[in-house]
């Protein structure tokens, strides 16, 4: 192979690699961009450090945004949730069971919960502001499962 064909082949491989890399970057970045601009992001899975039964999550919700979490627990375990926020009572939570049952909680007034879980499965917790008006709420969500 002469030098001209070798240079041409090398240039072609570089261009192909660049195009493939850009395509891969777009493919990987698209879900994150969609989630930021109105798409639905996956709920954050709540996990406990080894040997602990409690964890605390800090977050912020703006306007009508919701922060969503999932928690896997077993029937008969006691779940305790404590929500504090700044400004005071500017965040509320909703707890749904494995079959999307509300467990008797109202969505717009929950700051604390303690109860024995009726089923084994994934429980869904969402945190939002009680009003969809403009504003920001900083919250601290403490989850305990025993």
The answer to pTM > 0.85 is no
Length of the chain measured in residues: 146
The rounded distance, in Å, linking the Cα atoms of 66 and 35 is 12
Residue range 104-142, pLDDT digits in tens? 776 667 889 999 999 999 999 999 998 877 899 999 999
* Confidence at residue 25, expressed as pLDDT on a 0 to 100 scale: 45
Residue range 6-36, pLDDT digits in tens? 666 556 666 666 565 445 444 544 444 444 4
CB 102 within 8 A of CB 77: no
More confident residue, 103 or 98: 98
Residue range 63-83, pLDDT digits in tens? 989 999 999 999 999 999 999
């Amino acid at each position: 192979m002469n030098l001209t064909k070798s240079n041409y082949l090398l240039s072609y491989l570089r261009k192909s690699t660049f195009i493939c890399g850009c395509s891969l970057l777009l493919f990987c970045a698209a879900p994150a961009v969609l989630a930021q601009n109105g798409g639905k992001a996956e709920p954050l899975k709540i996990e406990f450090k080894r040997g602990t039964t409690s964890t605390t999550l800090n977050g912020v919700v703006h306007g009508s945004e919701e922060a969503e979490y999932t928690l896997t627990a077993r029937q008969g375990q006691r779940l305790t949730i404590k929500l504090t926020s700044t400004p005071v009572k500017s965040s509320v939570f909703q707890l749904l069971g494995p079959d999307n049952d509300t467990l008797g909680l109202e969505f717009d007034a929950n700051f604390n919960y303690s109860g024995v879980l009726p089923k084994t499965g994934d429980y869904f917790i969402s945190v939002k502001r009680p009003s969809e008006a403009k504003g920001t709420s900083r919250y601290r969500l403490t989850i305990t499962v025993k």
